Chains A and B, each alone.
Chain A
Amino acid sequence: MSGVAAMTKGAFLRIDRDRCEGHGQCAIMAPDLLHLDDAGEVVIDVADVSDRMEAARKAVQACPAIALSIE
């Protein structure tokens, strides 16, 4: 496997800013992975969640606006 392919391996939380309405449920379900900043915008704190899949899936599942996914 090439170096580039190895670097893109893993699982990453992705926010669709167009869909996100700031309900904040992701940050409640996975406070170690994301938080809301003072302006109410979601901030991803942990880039690669491949070893935190359970928490990441909970956050995705709790988003009412279908704005969060794992890629």
Chain B
Amino acid sequence: MTTTEIATSSIDIFSDEVLQDPYPHYAALREEGAVVYLPRNDLWALTRYRTIRDALENSSVFSSQRVAFNDDMNRALAGTSLATDAPDHRQLRKTLLAPLTPRALKSIEDDIGSKADRLVDDLVARGSFDAIGDLARAFPLQVVSDMIGVQGVARENILRWGEAAFNVLGPMNQRSVENFPVAGELFQWCKTVRQEDLVEGSLGHGIFESAKRGEIAPESCGAIIHQYVAAGMDTTITSIGNAIAHFAAFPDQYARLAADPSLVRSAFNETLRYEPPVNLFGRHVKSDIEVEGTLIPAGAQAAVLFAAGNRDPRHYDDPDTYRIDRDPADHLAFGYGIHTCAGQGLARIEALAILSACARRVRSFRVGEGQRQINNMTRGLSSLPVLEIRAK
């Protein structure tokens, strides 16, 4: 076998500088090679669209035993659907997915649409608001809390918990260290939550019913609820917030959407391609594998850079341009293969409901300066003031 010299880069992909504006760095890595070794992170970055899809498809070599970038979290996640390989993955996935299939979600779709309409009516009447706090965070908080049946103090903590749950998937840097206690609160709540703490008729309440019927182990109820909360908040929040930010940054694109709100599905796919909510996930390399001429040794950890693949000019024309009619349904934001985002159906329903409610009511809008939220794993804003709205 002839192996060419290994491409390397000295960047720390979890540094403030990279997370503030990762795209120029990802572009440099992508041009360096399909596989780039990062000595500072001890990671093998997969940077190009095709390479990433192939690796995600090859889940027997690219194992999910190390999706997080620190050992403590990988131990904490052991036994969850997210971190388990085939064949054990199958049953865990089935349980997790059951309430999230498009068919199962049909019953709550209308309710989510009504909630979105009411929220946007209220915000349009106010005229100025924070697109992150009052909209991108407020809406999934309401939808996911109602769905799981979370009430009281726990509901007030869910936003903090959701953000921390992603930060702690990063390496043991300052951000992870600071967020471990907060992420620990969520683990602790999930471990101690009882059926009567959750609203009757909710999904969370129903999980305990399944355990009573013997369909799942009683001790796994908390783990399942943990996955819904940890995976369901910051992902949807950042993608809705990013969509509003893109509409504000590219007013000609928003004008097209306002003129034809049926473009909202395509526009949301383009938002997920242009700035995926989760920049990357890890994989454990189980056996030596040659990828595009580079040998990745067994035992290494790969960093699957969804966000770099989504801007690969080998796959998308003019990838740094945001175009709402592009409809890139094959983007990498939800991953691909057996671990593809289980909540993507719910995420689509939430995002399409809220974004189409905006497109149907708002002709144009003006924003002030947004603040970037720096998180080890996710890409989003912490605030984006909407200063003025022209309603239809």
The answer to whether B336 touches A28, judged by C-beta atoms less than 8 angstroms apart, is no
> A20 → chain B, closest Cβ, in Å?
11
Chain B neighbourhood of A64, CB < 8 A: 334-337, 340-341, 344
8 Å CB interface, A35-57 against B: 36, 39-40
B336/A21 in contact, CB under 8 A: no
Assembled-state Cα–Cα distance A26/B174 (Å) = 43
Q: Tell whether B338 is near chain A: CB-to-CB under 8 Å.
A: yes
**Could you tell me if A23 and B102 are in contact, using CB atoms closer than 8 angstroms?**
yes
In the assembled complex, A58 has its CB within 8 A of some CB on chain B: yes
9 cross-chain CB contacts under 8 A: A19-B338, A23-B340, A23-B344, A23-B345, A58-B329, A62-B330, A64-B335, A64-B344, A65-B338
* Contact flags A11-26 to B (C-beta < 8 A → 1, else 0): 0000000010111110
Q: Is the CB of B102 within 8 A of A36?
A: yes
Measured as residues with beta carbon below 8 angstroms from the partner, the interface class of chain A is 10 to 19
What residue of chain A has the Cβ atom nearest to residue B345's Cβ? A23
Chain B residue nearest to A60 in the complex (CB):
B330
A56-71 residues with Cβ-Cβ distance < 8 A to B are: 58, 61-62, 64-66
Q: Flag if B340 contacts A65 (CB, 8 Å).
A: yes
**Ordered nearest first, which 6 A-B pairs have the shortest CB separation?**
A40-B103, A62-B329, A64-B340, A61-B330, A22-B101, A24-B102
Given contacts A28-B329, A29-B329, contact A66 B103 (CB under 8 A): no
Chain B residues within CB distance 8 Å of chain A: 57, 97, 101-103, 265, 329-330, 334-338, 340-341, 344-345
Among B57, B102, B338, the one with the most A-chain Cβ atoms within 10 Å of its Cβ is B102
B325 CB to nearest A CB, Å: 14
A25:B103 contact, CB within 8 angstroms: no
Give the distance in Å from the alpha carbon of A24 to the alpha carbon of B52 in the complex: 22
- B337–A65 touching, CB < 8 Å: yes
CB distance from A70 to the nearest CB of B (A): 15
Residues of chain A lying within 8 A (CB to CB) of residue B345: 23-24
Q: Which residues of the other chain, B, contact A21 by a CB distance below 8 angstroms?
A: 97, 101, 340
Separation in Å of the A54 CB from the closest CB of chain B? Answer: 13
A61 to B327 Cα, complex, angstroms: 12
